[in-house]
Amino acid sequence: MNDRMMKAVLFDRYGGPEVLYVGRVPRPEPAPGEVLVKVRAFSVNGGELAARAGRLRLVSGRTFPKRVGLDFTGEVAALGGGVTRPAVGERVWGVLGRTSGFGSAAEYVTVPAERVGRVPDGLDLVDAAALPVATTAVTALRDKAGLRPGERLLVRGAAGGVGNAAVQLGQAYGAEVTALARAANLDFVRGLGAHQAVDHRSVRPADLGRFDVVLDTAGTDLETFRRLLNPRGRMVTIAFDLKRPVASLGYLAASTVHGRGRVRFFSGNPTQDHLDDLARYVREGKLRPAVHTVFPLEETAAAHRALEAGGVRGKYVVRVA
């Protein structure tokens, strides 16, 4: 077998999960400032589902084959020029940056050295793959919203990858956490530390009361949930409505100057500092991985299909080797 090649999950056209397949591509070499990581596991994220389906084709274009995979855990296999840390063999995790696109669904990936962090000792690399996107919850609650002890926090999509981390961190930050999730997942989010768990299909948002911070992971009905803010409330969303992208992004922009409470929108782009914070929360027992199901690399399409079906508790993780 040619050791200059590696397995990777690819697709040659936009479409459903069935377009994904495991092919062989050249193994990357780390450029100066980069590390080569032997990937052990990655998780499936909503953004890559949208990209695979062609909802972001105005950005991603029509050059194929394309790749999937946003986050990863693994071991450092080689160092690019000028890199001294992390060391070869060190267990690391990370999230590919905005300019890198997708591609962690593979046996190897190259990443700038400043975009990987050390995985806490004792944490299995497959379980750990559920956590890198939790940096988004850290940024949303701590840095964007400035969540304070005693405040009321509403987490929309509380059982998902970012949502379950937000519930755990909200409780750790001393907030009173209300979690919106499917009825089947209410016990799950209570177990994460939610003070109230509410079936999002059986309640009107207006009946939930007022909140100091709203964290949205869906990107729809933003105006409705914005109305739940207290006078000094803050709302953060990590998504926009992919069915109405222009209108949704327009509303986000308009919220900065109209009405009560700006809606802060951002996409996760963690650095080593964010990943080090994540590791500290894990060591302190404030955050734990929530893995719904582990799939082998050859069944990545099944993992995409499961996430699209809804009802996930935590993360769908794919084991590479």
Two tokens at 302?
Answer: 């099944």
> What integer pLDDT is reported at residue 123 of this predicted model?
97
- Across the range 284-301, mean pLDDT stands at 97
| Strand ranges (E), 44-97 | 66-67, 71-79, 91-95
What is the 8-class DSSP label of residue 27? P
Residues 125-161: tens digit of each pLDDT? 999 999 999 999 999 999 999 999 999 999 999 999 9
Helix axes of 46-53 and 300-309: crossing angle, nearest 10 degrees: 100
> What integer pLDDT is reported at residue 139 of this predicted model?
93
- Choose the weakest-confidence range: 32-36, 144-148, 237-241, 291-295: 237-241
Q: pLDDT averaged over the chain?
A: 90
Residues 208-254: tens digit of each pLDDT? 999 999 999 988 888 899 999 999 999 999 874 455 544 444 544 44
> What integer pLDDT is reported at residue 315 of this predicted model?
97
Residue 174 contacts residue 149 (beta carbons within 8 Å): yes
262 or 68, greater pLDDT: 68
> What integer pLDDT is reported at residue 264 of this predicted model?
73
122 pLDDT band (50/70/90 cuts)? very high
> What integer pLDDT is reported at residue 101 of this predicted model?
78
Domains and CATH numbers, the chain: 5-131+270-319 (3.90.180.10), 134-265 (3.40.50.720)
Residue 41 contacts residue 129 (beta carbons within 8 Å): yes
Residue 117 contacts residue 128 (beta carbons within 8 Å): no
- Pick from 162, 280, 152, 159: nearest CA to 208: 152
Separation between Cα atoms, residue 144 and residue 265, nearest integer Å: 9
- Across the range 49-77, mean pLDDT stands at 91
Separation between Cα atoms, residue 65 and residue 15, nearest integer Å: 13
- Across the range 59-70, mean pLDDT stands at 89
Separation between Cα atoms, residue 171 and residue 290, nearest integer Å: 16
Q: For residue 117, what are the β-bridge partners? A: 93
Ramachandran region of residue 33, left (φ > 0), alpha (ψ -120 to 50) or beta? left
What is the 8-class DSSP label of residue 147? -
- Pick from 6, 118, 121: nearest CA to 69: 6
> What integer pLDDT is reported at residue 263 of this predicted model?
67
